[in-house]
């Protein structure tokens, strides 16, 4: 209000509203979700891949489940062609390759020698999954990790 010579006049006063700025902080708790793994029997090592653990126990030092062999790298599927070697199988893998010239696909096959742990009991004709490991011999750089 402004007073002038005894008279009072009212003028609108621009009121400043006090605005409180409050920060809303939401804290999200990260809860670790445990993935369910298959039940691993005692004495069987987890190799880091989702495969069924073998039911039998072996004393093979080159077994990824019971020995000290670590696996890494490529994972391949194939069919066992031969199991005549001791603790080694030959796995045949077929794949399709596109031929540009004829605009067709052709089947190409590869054979891999892989170490076969006795606990898996792999025979000729079985479908298996093999995984890369360190070289075990001149031709063997894969190990069987699952029989399908």
| For the chain, percent of residues with pLDDT exceeding 90 | 61
How much is the mean pLDDT over the chain?
Answer: 85
Please give the class, per CATH, of domain 26-147: mainly beta
Q: Which of 29-38, 45-54, 96-105 has the lowest mean pLDDT?
A: 29-38
CA geometry: angle 33, 43, 58, nearest 5 deg: 130
> What residues contact 58, with CB distance under 8 A and at least 6 apart?
66, 117, 118, 119
What is the mean pLDDT of the segment spanning 100-112? 97
| Residue ranges covered by each domain of the chain | 26-147
How many CA atoms, within 13 angstroms, populate the side-chain half-sphere of residue 43?
10
| For the chain, percent of residues with pLDDT exceeding 70 | 72
pLDDT per position as a tens digit, 113-139:
999 999 999 999 999 999 999 999 999
Distance of CA 62 to the CA centre of its chain: 22
Residue 1 has pLDDT above 70, yes or no: no
**Rounded to whole angstroms, how far apart are CA atoms 125 and 106?**
23
Bridge partners, residue 111, by sequence: 92
């Amino acid at each position: 209000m402004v007073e002038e010579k005894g008279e009072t006049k009212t003028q609108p006063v621009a009121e400043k509203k006090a605005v409180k700025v409050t920060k809303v902080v939401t804290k999200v708790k990260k809860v670790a979700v445990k993935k369910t793994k298959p039940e691993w029997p005692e004495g069987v090592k987890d190799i880091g891949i989702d495969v069924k653990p073998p039911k039998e126990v072996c004393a093979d030092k080159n077994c990824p489940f019971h020995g000290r062999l670590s696996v890494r790298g490529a994972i391949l599927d194939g069919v066992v062609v031969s199991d005549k070697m001791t603790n080694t199988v030959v796995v045949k893998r077929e794949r399709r390759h596109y031929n540009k010239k004829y605009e067709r696909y052709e089947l190409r096959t590869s054979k891999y020698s892989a170490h076969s742990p006795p606990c898996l009991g792999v025979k000729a004709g079985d479908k298996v999954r093999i995984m890369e490991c360190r070289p075990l011999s001149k031709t063997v750089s894969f190990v069987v990790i699952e029989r399908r």
